[in-house]
């Protein structure tokens, strides 16, 4: 039987490099028509990102997705427009209130550059109607839809109108979906399957590659390179940003060590009740970095990864340029 692979199951094999210095490697990525500093973004979770951090990332040229918990979509987008944010990237669900907010924001001509329809099981009929609502009322907005973990789901979301698809179910460290429901797929195999849509998902090869956001399972900076080798365009990480000193996660001291409270979107801590829970709170040790310092560290490590891959930019990870071993 074929074994599905986590990032930790994979070792990348180095190639010959002509880079004079690793610092010369270009880590920028074009995502849905806009160039960003890194193919990495903090997870759209309440303990990972808030409005202050989102605005800072926007100003510094990084992609972000603001979470959908707390204030309404209408209030968040209105504030971003009033403050003239350079990039407006938000999340929504699939409930009637979310769709009403889209209609209202369209009526008052509010700008949304990117919107992520963010639900636990994204391959469903309510996702289709949510995409159709955005396409009707805000046709210039780029739509990211998820989460899913099969090629068939990626195909359907794309055909329904999504511009990019967020993949990963049950692989984030505060997520308990795989234990509570039995459903999941290890991330390296998930990304590889979802980014390679030939072999039954399309009847022909006329479709270009669909941008994939790999969401979950990133424990080390090197996992970012592995996700890119598997076919991701963008990588979403939670714990490594929640553990930063200036993240919105609450601080506590455990055994004289500062920890940050990192919790899943389907946790009781986020929902404020105990029904349909598929997440938990994890106290992660503070990494003593700011988010900006962590992004710099990721940049430098990714530059090294590009060098080991034998390239000059992120193209080094594409088209089977990098081989890997299963350990």
In this model, does residue 275 exceed pLDDT 70? no
CA 221 – CA 240 distance, rounded (Å): 9
Residue 323 token pair: 């081989």
- Given this model, what pLDDT does residue 318 score? 86
In this model, does residue 132 exceed pLDDT 50? yes
CA 115 – CA 134 distance, rounded (Å): 9
In this model, does residue 111 exceed pLDDT 50? yes
Confidence of residue 324 (pLDDT cuts 50, 70, 90): confident
Give the mean pLDDT of the chain.
Answer: 91
Residue 204 token pair: 């022909």
In terms of C-beta density within 10 A (0-12 exposed, 13-18 middle, 19 or more buried), how is residue 140 classed?
exposed
CA 158 – CA 326 distance, rounded (Å): 31
> What separation, in Å, do the N-terminal and C-terminal C-alpha atoms of the chain show?
16
pLDDT tens figures, 238-273: 999 999 999 998 888 898 889 988 877 655 566 556
| Active-site hit among 175, 190, 194, 201 | 175
pLDDT tens figures, 44-71: 999 999 999 999 999 999 999 999 888 8
Rg (CA), the chain: 19
Half-sphere exposure of 14 (CA within 13 A, CB side): 7
Rounded average pLDDT over 91-98 = 95
Q: Which fold has domain 7-22+34-326?
A: TIM Barrel (3.20.20)
**Known active-site residue 244:** no
Confidence of residue 208 (pLDDT cuts 50, 70, 90): low
In this model, does residue 75 exceed pLDDT 80? yes
In this model, does residue 199 exceed pLDDT 60? no
Three-class DSSP labels, 49-92: CCHHHHHHHHHHCCCCCCCCCCCCHHHHHHHHHHCCCCCCEEEE
- Given this model, what pLDDT does residue 204 score? 46
In this model, does residue 29 exceed pLDDT 90? yes
In this model, does residue 306 exceed pLDDT 60? yes
Residue 289 token pair: 């970095």
- Given this model, what pLDDT does residue 282 score? 85
């Amino acid at each position: 039987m074929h074994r599905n692979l986590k990032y930790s199951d994979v070792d990348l094999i180095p190639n010959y490099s002509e880079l004079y210095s690793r610092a010369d490697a270009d880590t920028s990525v074009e995502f849905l028509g806009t160039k960003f500093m890194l193919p990495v973004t903090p997870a759209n979770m309440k303990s990972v990102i808030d409005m202050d951090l989102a605005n800072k990332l926007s100003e510094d040229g990084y992609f972000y997705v603001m979470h959908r918990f707390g204030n309404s979509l209408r209030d968040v987008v209105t504030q971003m427009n009033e403050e003239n944010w350079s990039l407006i990237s938000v999340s929504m669900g699939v409930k009637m209130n979310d769709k009403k907010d889209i209609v209202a924001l369209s009526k008052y001509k509010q700008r949304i550059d990117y919107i992520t329809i963010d639900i636990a099981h994204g391959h469903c009929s309510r996702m289709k109607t949510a995409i159709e609502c955005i396409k009707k009322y805000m046709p210039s907005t780029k739509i990211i839809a998820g989460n899913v973990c099969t090629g068939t789901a990626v195909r359907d979301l794309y055909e329904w109108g999504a511009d990019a698809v967020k993949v990963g179910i049950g692989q984030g460290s505060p997520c308990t979906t795989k234990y509570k429901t039995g459903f999941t797929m290890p991330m390296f195999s998930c990304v590889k399957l979802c980014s390679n849509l030939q072999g039954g998902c399309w009847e022909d090869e006329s479709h270009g590659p669909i941008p994939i956001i790999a969401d979950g399972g990133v424990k080390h900076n090197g996992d970012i390179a592995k996700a890119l080798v598997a076919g991701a365009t963008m990588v979403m990480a939670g714990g490594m940003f929640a553990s930063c000193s200036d993240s919105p996660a609450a601080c506590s001291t455990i055994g004289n060590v500062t920890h940050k409270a990192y919790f899943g979107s389907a946790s009781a801590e986020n929902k404020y009740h105990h029904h349909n829970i598929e997440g938990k709170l994890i106290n992660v040790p503070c990494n003593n970095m700011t988010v900006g310092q962590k992004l710099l560290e990721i940049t430098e490590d990714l530059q090294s990864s590009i060098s080991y891959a034998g390239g000059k930019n992120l193209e080094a990870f594409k088209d089977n340029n990098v081989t890997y071993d299963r350990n």
